[in-house]
Amino acid sequence: MNIRNFIIKKTASIAMFSAALTAFSTYAAPSPVYAQALESEEQSASEEDSAGKEDEKQNEENENSGDSEEKKDLYIPESPDIFSGSAILMDADTGAVLFEKNSHERCYPASTTKILTGLLVTSNTSLGEKIVFSQQAADSVEEGDASLNTKAGEEFTIDQALHGLLLHSANEMAYGLAEHVGGSVEGFADLMNKAADEAGALDTHFVNASGLYDDEHYSTAYDMALIARECFNNPTFLAIDSETNYEIPATNLTSEKRQFKNRNLLLPGMGYEYKYCVGGKTGYLPEGGHTYVSYAQKDGMRLIAVCFESGADERFSDARTMFEWGFNNFSKVSLTGTPLLAPYTETSYLNSGRFNSGKIRHNLDATYVTLPDGASISDVKVSPDTDHKTTADDQNVNIPIAFKYGDFTAGTADLSYHRADAVTTANVMLPAVSPDASEDKQSTSVNSPFVVDLKILIGIGLGLLGIFILWAIISGIRRKREKNALYRSRRRRF
């Protein structure tokens, strides 16, 4: 069976978890052989699944029926009423989706695109670094665009340009920063798409750094929340994005200073002031309406709100409504010491020498889930996150999982399996094709760990026990015979 599908289906079961580790050590092999092996295994798995489908159908229906009954009893607070056509409220720490409305609908993100532009710039430059704007960047602004009237050849620091990008939403700043980091807008867009994919985005594609309209420039509220998680976890990005006012002093080509305010009106002291708001980004396109991504923090809980297809005022009121609803109805619950994490601890049976002989380790990067107030952690189940892909190579398997409270996603995490030591041809414990083997004729010899099966150990134990019992019986008979002989000898004397 395909190792990825095998582990995904069995992750929640301790017994199948151990089988997953064994499968990993049995089937993982270097590319391109590993890819070919997986393809063959997928075909076999498909045949096996078809063969057993009828036998399992009734059991699955019964289980689903039972699950449905259980879900009816789970408490979920009544959803908030909002104007935005597409929206989501997500816990920035756990990945829990507290509320969503058409969150997987494809939309035009407009200038909320610039949060990813800002993240990539902060991750690939230093704030004191100088940037000189090209003629193309200076001419990239169209009538009606947000702009700081930047001139060709004008010089700024990265810090100044980022403030112009995130607070004032200047389009030429996005263009110039994209050229500076990616070499060109097209090159930077490639970096954006890669970063979005790494964040877990499912239906997002960028073609520019500013969010200007293009039919191939789109995202979803869900994807933008995932991207925002990365942005708001970057302290440099957040420090800039949370400022309400900024001033750029005179430059080499402009004698006047530039002063501007943050367009995020939900920040404290702004028009729609919400004291727990600590960052965000607005946007607008005639083709997609008003957009907004925001971030708020209260009592140790960090929430992200995304509003697409909204109104100029409604996006702020919707975000505030979602934030207040989330803070008032949900809490973070620790997973430490719960049965949900027990199979993945270092002291579990699954990390015993029986499995460590294969030098395979695992890690589950989960600490908390987010649940409705009063909900029980015992109602949370671990299941594969089928929205995201499992990744695997010869040394690692990474499985996205979800903590489910009924239909509600209480958190997400990655369960990863990996080699504990560096692979060498001398001590490799995973199957490896001989380096001399060609693609047309692969060697079938593998290096596999020495593992003693538990059944063999039990059999040996039972055998030894049988021998001991037989020895005890024989010894007892011998002692009885000796005692009788001694008794008869004494009688003859008297």
Residues catalogued as catalytic: 111, 114, 169
Of 384, 425, 377, 368, which Cα lies nearest the Cα of 405?
Answer: 377
Residues near 416 by Cβ (< 8 Å), separated by ≥ 6?
A: 362, 363, 364, 365, 396, 397, 398, 399
Residue with tokens 């600590």: 278
Report the amino acid identity of residue 480.
K
Residues near 412 by Cβ (< 8 Å), separated by ≥ 6?
A: 94, 95, 96, 385, 400, 401, 402, 403
Q: Packing angle between helix 114-124 and helix 185-199, nearest 10 degrees?
A: 100
Q: Could you give the CA distance from residue 385 to residue 11 in angstroms, rounded to a whole number?
A: 11
DSSP 3-state of 203: coil
The DSSP annotation for 98-145 comes to EEEESTTS-B--GGGGHHHHHHHHHHHS-TT-EEE--HHHHTT--TTS
Q: Strand pairing partners for 411?
A: 403
DSSP 3-state of 154: coil
Of 263, 257, 118, 228, which Cα lies nearest the Cα of 176?
Answer: 118
Q: Could you give the CA distance from residue 204 to residue 220 in angstroms, rounded to a whole number?
A: 7
Of 83, 166, 158, which Cα lies nearest the Cα of 126?
Answer: 158
CB atoms within 10 A of CB 44: 11
First to last CA, the chain: 81
What does each C-alpha distance from 62 to 57, 159, 269, 405 come to in angstroms?
A: 9, 60, 56, 19
